[in-house]
Amino acid sequence: MAKNILFYAPEGAGKTTQAKMLAEKLGVPCLISGDLVRRMAENDKGIMGEICRETLAKGHYVADSEMFVLWKARLKDDDTQNGWVIDGFPRNLTQAEFLADKLDKYGKQVDLVVYLKVSEEVSIARLLKRGRKLTDGSLHDS
């Protein structure tokens, strides 16, 4: 069975819920992009932590260059060597190319991409129900 899995969907589609359940069933870690950013913001007193804190405070996504630093380190961790389920990364073509390059260098590949389809109306309704609308009007959290 596939062990390196990406979940891709609009926010509010349920990908984090599904990703966590699948990761638990497979016995691999569920790597959530927003969690990496929040952990760095909380625990790192250096420049990366500062960048993450400032970006989160503004309700924006962390820039690709910082995401690359976070993901490069996370994919080297011991618990990821037998597989993982990723939620929230990659978000764009540049990030996808970065991930493909790093996995190739580590002798790994994405085995499966799961796409959860949900309408924009349902996605927005779910996010608003969760109270996820931020002060700038955005709906994302990482």
Q: Omega of the bond prior to 90 within 30 degrees of 0, cis?
A: yes
Give the pLDDT confidence of 65-89 residue by residue, as tens digits.
999 999 999 999 999 999 999 999 9
> What is the amino acid identity at position 3?
K
Say which residue the tokens 């990703």 belong to. 19
Ranges of residues in the chain whose predicted pLDDT is under 50: 134-136, 139, 141-142
Residue 69, token pair as written in the block = 């630093």
Q: What is the CATH topology of the domain spanning 4-129? A: Rossmann fold (3.40.50)
Q: Are 88 and 32 in contact (CB under 8 A)?
A: yes
